[in-house]
Amino acid sequence: MRLKECALPVSESDQVEFKNSFNDEVIVSLVAFAKTKGGNVYIGINDSGSVHGLDIGKETIQNWINEVKNKTQPSIIPDAESTRIDGKSIVRLSINEFPVKPVAFKGRFFKRIKNSNHLMSAIEISDLNLQSLQLSWDSYPTYNKSFNDLDLFKIDKFIEKVNNTGRFSLHGVTKDNLEKIKLINGDTITNAALLLFSKETVGYNVHIGRFKTTSLIIDDKMLNGTLFETVEETMRFIIAQIKVAFEIKGMPTSRTEIFEYPVPALREMVLNSLIHRDYMSPVDVQIKIYDNKITFFNPGCLYGNLTIEDLKKDYYQAYTRNKLIAEAFYLTGDVEKYGSGFIRIRDEIKLYPTMRFDFKEIPNGFLVELNYKKQKISSEGINEGINEGINEGINEGLQTLFIVIRENPGIQTKNISVLLNNRPLKTLERQLSQLIKNQRIIRKGSNKSGGYWCC
- Here the CATH number for the domain that contains residue 294 is 3.30.565.60
Confidence of residue 253 (pLDDT cuts 50, 70, 90): low
Confidence of residue 352 (pLDDT cuts 50, 70, 90): very high
| 35 and 179 fall within a common domain | no
* Residue 383 falls inside a structural domain: no
Domain boundary among 177, 197, 217: 197
Q: What angle do CA 274, 279, 281 make, to 5 degrees?
A: 120
| 148 and 216 fall within a common domain | no
Tell me, what's the pLDDT at 56?
A: 93
DSSP letter (8 states) at residue 181: T
Query: Cα(5)–Cα(52) distance, rounded to whole angstroms?
Result: 14
* Residue 173 falls inside a structural domain: yes
Instruction: Note whether 275 and 204 are within 8 A (CB).
Output: no
Q: Is 218 exposed, middle or buried (0-12, 13-18, 19+ CB in 10 A)?
A: exposed
| 167 and 116 fall within a common domain | no
| 212 and 304 fall within a common domain | yes
Domain boundary among 161, 177, 197: 197
* Residue 131 falls inside a structural domain: no
What's the CATH code of the domain at 418?
1.10.10.10
Domain boundary among 120, 147, 179: 120
- Give the domain range for residue 155: 137-197
Element (H, E) at 39: strand 39-43
Tell me, what's the pLDDT at 1?
A: 42
| 354 and 243 fall within a common domain | yes
Stronger pLDDT, 304 or 283, i.e. the higher one: 283
Confidence of residue 404 (pLDDT cuts 50, 70, 90): confident
Most confident of 138-147, 386-395, 437-446: 138-147
| 258 and 185 fall within a common domain | no
Tell me, what's the pLDDT at 246?
A: 80
* Residue 129 falls inside a structural domain: no
Stronger pLDDT, 444 or 142, i.e. the higher one: 142
Confidence of residue 388 (pLDDT cuts 50, 70, 90): very low
| 182 and 210 fall within a common domain | no
What's the CATH code of the domain at 106?
3.30.950.30
Strand partners, 259: 244
Q: Is 406 exposed, middle or buried (0-12, 13-18, 19+ CB in 10 A)?
A: buried
| 174 and 270 fall within a common domain | no
Query: Cα(76)–Cα(56) distance, rounded to whole angstroms?
Result: 22
* Residue 108 falls inside a structural domain: yes
* Type of residue at 323: K
| 249 and 224 fall within a common domain | yes
| 349 and 421 fall within a common domain | no
| 170 and 47 fall within a common domain | no
| 226 and 193 fall within a common domain | no
Instruction: Note whether 447 and 410 are within 8 A (CB).
Output: no
pLDDT digits (tens, 9 = 90+) for 63-73: 999 999 999 99
Q: State the total domains in the chain.
A: 4
Q: Is the peptide bond before 102 cis (omega within 30 degrees of 0)?
A: yes
